[in-house]
Amino acid sequence: MFYFGYDNYMNHAFPMDELNPHDCNGRGPDYDNPSNININDVLGNFSLGLVDSLDTLAIMGDKQYFKNAVQYVINTVSFDQECTVQVFESTIRMLGSLLSAHLIVTEWTDVFNITLDDYDNELLSLAHDLGVRLLPAFENSDQMPLPRVNLRHGKSDLFGDHTCTAGVGTLILEFKMLGRLVGDPVFEMVAERAMDKLWELKDSKTGLIGNVYNTKSSSWDDPMSGIGAGIDSYFEYLLKSFILFGNEKDLSRFSDYYDSIIKYMKRYSIDNDGLSDNDNPFYFANVHMKTGQLHNHWIDSLSAAFVGVQILHGDLEAAILHHALFYGLWLKYDALPERYNWYLKKCEYALYPLRPEFVEATYLLFQATRHPFYLFVGEKIYDSLQTFNKAKCGYATLNSVISKKQEDRMESFFLSETCKYLYLLFDLDNPLNKRSDFIFTTEGHLMRISKFAREKMTIFEPSSIRSLNISHLYSCETFPKHRQMIPPFSDEFWGNLVNFIDLQV
């Protein structure tokens, strides 16, 4: 699956950013229509499909493909482009991948056993160049970064001053690691400052935060609070920032948010006080940040990533039941629609752009439980992708999970995340699956928990960092042995879930 997509990208699309799997050609920025932010936020004429795939090649153990890919990046990628891109997307897809690939060949040779002759930190130099080009976004009076920059000219207020919470709060891992590697505290400082500002903006009563913030008016344009699109990876990065860098403040903030999420967003499908919580399917509703009252009736596919956050937080039983909701939806549609209306029991936005969040959650639950059910789920995901998404020259977005009509686009995260997590799910002997000192960024790139990350603190004193033992998170011991060979949820729970989403079985 991965090689079919990757080889077709290299043969038909490279050095452009994405592959069009129907027309078998490449896609780059839409220069004729600058307002087409669906394309231009992501594509910067910097060979995105290649760069985003680098550590997938290393994880799969294909040393020669990885070495060839790195050489292509060194020889062809430049950020001196007349393109206005989104800071968030460029950070998680490009910056994160360059940093991971650099560390694979310089610091993580004990894991991947990959070295490059005559390597002179070119990937790190590219990452530094990109980071510098993103910094003008932070030249803002209220300390919140603008959503976009022009890679050549810097600060850009094109298409307004609206930024989502995730766009502000999902920079800390990549910016901090870049700062540590190049010895420049500015990257850490601006990312920390933005995180501090977000914390100040949460509602004092509910402890919740909104979705879309206006950096010009310094107010919330969209007060919806949820765990899905627009906010999702902010919560993820608070917890992972603590795990990676040992910042107690981020853990405290995450814990407060998690308590508020449970209090105001968690809703059960059946209003029955006599029904056990373990038999009652639940979802996390979108609510108003100031009141905690219901804001709308949909959940989105990105919220599946919160299952992984729950696992890292140690709320494993809840993660198992939460994952079951998305499994049911996958059975219903052979994909996850972008939005599903739980009240009407139908799609609200039927697009499926090959997103990885459900695959990631399935992989992480298998690592946490070793329950064979999740291998079965992975097979179902694989079969669906092969049946409904495979195209002439790659894998295509589904324009509708109902009609299964395809759209001529294969986003880079299909190779960098969807294929990566599926591969790791089934590669039981992969070195990463036997370790507990790596975490994935929100784009599926690797970061290693190490003394280097934890000792070189430029803002927080090392003495304030407690040691963190997370080895239990990736051990079968977290799941009681007497439950490892039976279904991960009760028959009554599954029957109630089937009714809740109107699944025909």
Residues involved in catalysis: 89, 232, 338, 357
With contact defined as beta carbons under 8 Å apart, do 375 and 366 qualify?
yes
What is the Cα–Cα distance from 106 to 100, expressed in whole angstroms? 10
Q: What single string gives the DSSP state of each residue in 231-286?
A: THHHHHHHHHHHHHH--HHHHHHHHHHHHHHHHHTEEESS--TTS-GGGS-EEE--
Q: What is the 3-state secondary structure (H, E, C) of 476-503?
A: HHHCCHHHCCCCCCCHHHHHHHHHHHCC
Closest CA relative to residue 98, chosen from 195, 175, 43 = 175
Record the tokens describing residue 195, joined without a space. Answer: 């995180």
CA atoms within 13 A on the CB side of 40: 19
What is the Cα–Cα distance from 5 to 60, expressed in whole angstroms? 15
Peptide bond into 372 cis (omega under 30): no
Contacts of 446 (CB under 8 A, 6+ apart): 55, 59, 100, 103, 104, 108, 432, 438, 439, 440
Q: Any bridge partners for residue 213, and if so which? A: 163, 220
Question: How crowded is residue 495: how many other Cβ atoms within 10 Å of its Cβ?
Answer: 13
What is the Cα–Cα distance from 167 to 194, expressed in whole angstroms? 10
Q: What is the 3-state secondary structure (H, E, C) of 174-187?
A: HHHHHHHHHCCHHH
Q: What is the 3-state secondary structure (H, E, C) of 442-454?
A: CCCCEEECCHHHH
CA atoms within 13 A on the CB side of 162: 11
What is the Cα–Cα distance from 229 to 373, expressed in whole angstroms? 28
CB neighbour class for 460 (10 Å; exposed up to 12, middle 13-18, buried from 19):
middle
Q: What single string gives the DSSP state of each residue in 168-225?
A: HHS-HHHHHHHHHHHT-HHHHHHHHHHHHHHHHHS-TTT----SEEETTTTEEEE-EE
Please report, in angstroms and rounded to a whole number, the separation of the first and last CA atoms in the chain: 28
